[in-house]
């Protein structure tokens, strides 16, 4: 791990190499499943950015792309409220919609987004997430495509943040608990906090 991150990152959970291989596999599955279909990829801002970019370059089929801006929590606060920060621009009705997100945690975000998307009348609606943390689930939500099922650890990097930092790490690491201990954490509290 680069020295820059050593003070903040306890361990590397998923290396660049592992992520790269798995993302290619997922893209292969998606390419097969959506061949010949009118695909609309709808990534959720912002954490999905690296996963999305890597996934897209291996999706070898025609598709449209439109971002949905959602934030499950205000800056640094604990809340179950979903704030819409960017609406869809493209028509979803009659299309095969694939939601893409970085992490499925409590499931509150996806539960609400899936319901909103379903109301737009897509021909099909599926979800692809890079990380699934089932131990934290509060809503009965599942993803159709999952990169990695991970334990209840506070992970950052490869798009995922803590207080808007660490998104640019090329790997996924476990944040050192001293960085958030004693604070109310908006998402992904470590196992010992729950």
Q: Is 101 in the site for ligand PRP (CB under 6 A)?
A: yes
Strand 39-45 versus strand 63-65 pairing type: parallel
- Pick the closer one to ligand PRP by CB: 30 or 160: 160
Q: Which of residues 55-94 bind ligand PRP (CB under 6 A)?
A: 71-73
Looking up tokens 């790269």, which residue turns up?
Answer: 20
Q: Which of residues 152-171 bind ligand PRP (CB under 6 A)?
A: 161
Strand 155-156 versus strand 172-175 pairing type: antiparallel
105 is catalytic: yes
d(CA 37, CA 26): 17
Closest CA to 33 of 101, 106, 96: 96
- Taken in order 182, 187, 191, 194, the sign of the CA dihedral is positive
- Taken in order 90, 94, 100, 101, the sign of the CA dihedral is positive
Q: Is 107 in the site for ligand PRP (CB under 6 A)?
A: yes
Report in angstroms how near the CB of residue 167 gets to ligand PRP at its nearest.
8
Decide if 94 contacts 123 (C-beta within 8 A): yes
Beta-bridge partner residues of 90: none
Of 55, 108, 153, 158, the one binding ligand PRP by CB under 6 A: 108
> Looking at 13-21, 42-50, 149-157, 171-179, which segment touches ligand PRP (CB under 6 A)?
42-50
Of the residues 54, 101, 102, 105, only one is catalytic, namely 105
Here's the x/- map for ligand PRP, 118-147, by CB under 6 A: it reads as ------------------------------
Catalytic residue numbers, as ranges: 105
Residues at the contact surface with ligand PRP, assessed by CB under 6 A: 44-47, 71-73, 101-109, 161, 187
């Amino acid at each position: 791990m680069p020295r820059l991150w050593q003070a903040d990152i306890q361990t590397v959970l998923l290396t660049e190499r592992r992520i790269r291989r798995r993302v290619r596999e997922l893209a292969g599955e998606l390419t097969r499943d959506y061949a010949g279909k009118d695909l609309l990829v709808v990534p959720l801002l912002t954490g999905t950015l690296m996963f999305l970019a890597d996934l897209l370059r291996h999706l070898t089929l025609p598709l449209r792309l439109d971002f949905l801006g959602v934030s499950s929590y205000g800056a640094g606060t604990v809340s179950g409220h979903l704030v819409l920060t960017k609406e869809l621009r493209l028509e979803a009705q009659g299309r095969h919609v694939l939601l893409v997100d970085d992490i499925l945690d409590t499931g509150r975000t996806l539960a609400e987004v899936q319901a909103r998307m379903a109301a737009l009348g897509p021909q099909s609606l599926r979800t692809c997430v890079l990380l699934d943390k089932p131990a934290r689930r509060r809503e009965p939500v599942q993803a159709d495509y999952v990169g990695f099922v991970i334990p209840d650890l506070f992970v950052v990097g490869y798009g995922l943040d803590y207080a808007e930092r660490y998104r640019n790490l090329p790997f996924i690491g476990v944040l050192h608990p001293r960085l958030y201990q004693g604070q109310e954490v908006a998402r992904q509290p470590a196992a010992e906090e729950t």
